[in-house]
Amino acid sequence: MEIKAATVKKLRDTTGAGMMDCKKALVKAEGDFDAATKILQEMGLAAVAKRADRATENGRIFTKITSNKAVLVEISCETDFVAKNEDFKKLGEEMCDVIVEKGYTEINDELSSMVTALIATIKENMALKNVLVFDLGENEYATTYIHGAGEKGVLVEFKADSAAAFENESVKEFCQDCALHVAAYTPTYLNAESINAEQIAELEEIFTKQALGMGKPEKIVPNIVKGMLAKHFKEICFLDQAYIKDDKLSVSQKMKEVAKAAGCKLEITGFQMYSTGA
C-alpha cells in the first residue's frame, strides 16, 4: 500500500524516530498510525536493550539555578557527537526543569525513563549518572560553571548573614570565581573538618612512615607530620587552596577579605563538580 509522505512526517514529529524507521513501521502496520507508533516504541526498546552494555564515556553536564534550588545533572553517552546533539541538550535542560518542578533529589524511574526515550530515538546508549540538588534558604546563594561543551560542571553553595550580601558586585564576582576555581583546581573536600577521622589517621600513618624513612629524630616526627598534613590539605581542601585569582591568599582568606569589604558575613557551605568520562 502507498504510504504518504505527510503521514511519515507526522509520525516522525510525534515519535522523533528517523524517517526510514517511520516508513517501515507504517508499512508493517498497513498504514495504521497508532499501530505504527507502537511498533516504533517496541523497536526503540529493543535498541535500548542491545546498547545497554556499551560504554558511555562521553556526555554532558547540565545545571539550573532558581531562587530556592540549584541543580547539577550528568548524563553520559557513547560519543561526543551525541553529546553535542540538540535533542541530547534538550533532554538535560528538561530534566533539570522536572527536578525543580517536582522536588526530586535523586535519580528515579521518571528521570531514567526520559533517558530511555531518547535512546530509543537516537539509538545510542546513554545513562543518567548523577543528580545533585542544593536547597537554597533565604540567605543562601549558588553559582554554577560549565566548562567547554559541558564536559565539566560545577555548583558552589554560599551562605551570608543577609540575602542583600549577594547583591554586592564584589561578593557576586567572588562567588562566580569560586565556581571557576573548583573547575580549575578540583578540590576533594571543603575543608579539613570534612575529612573523616579514618582518612586522617591513614594519612598520619603514611606521613609518619615517610618522616621516619628520612631518618628524622623520632621526637620531631609529630611536628613533621603536622606540617605534611597542612601542606596536603592545601592541595585537596577547597578553603585551604590558593585562590585562583590571588595565590598569595587561600580561598578562605579571600572570602574574609571580600566579606569585610562588603560589610557582611560569608561562608561556603558546599560544592560539587562532575566531569564526563570520570
Name the burial class of residue 63, with classes exposed (0-12), middle (13-18) and buried (19+) by CB atoms within 10 angstroms of its CB.
buried
Q: How many domains does the chain have?
A: 4
Residues 269 and 158 occupy one common structural domain: yes
Q: Which helix (H) or strand (E) holds 65?
A: strand 58-65
167-186: average pLDDT:
97
CB 229, CB 207: distance < 8 Å = yes
CB 67 within 8 A of CB 141: no
Write out the residue range of the structural domain in which residue 165 sits. Answer: 137-195+237-278
In this prediction, residue 46 carries a pLDDT of: 47
- 278 and 148 in a common domain: yes
Instruction: In whole angstroms, give the CA distance from residue 250 to residue 238.
Output: 9
Same domain, 72 and 86: yes
pTM > 0.85: no
> What's the pLDDT tens digit per position in 5-43?
888 888 777 666 667 778 888 888 888 888 887 776 666
What are the tens digits of pLDDT across the range 99-153? Answer: 999 999 999 999 998 998 888 777 788 889 999 999 999 999 999 999 998 999 9
Using H for helix, E for strand and C for coil, what is the string for 117-146?
Answer: HHHHHHCCCEEEEEEEEEECCCCEEEEEEE
Say if residues 257 and 249 touch (Cβ distance below 8 Å).
yes
Are 274 and 141 part of one and the same domain?
yes
Q: Do 155 and 201 belong together in one domain? A: no
Q: How far apart are CA 209 and CA 259, in angstroms?
A: 41
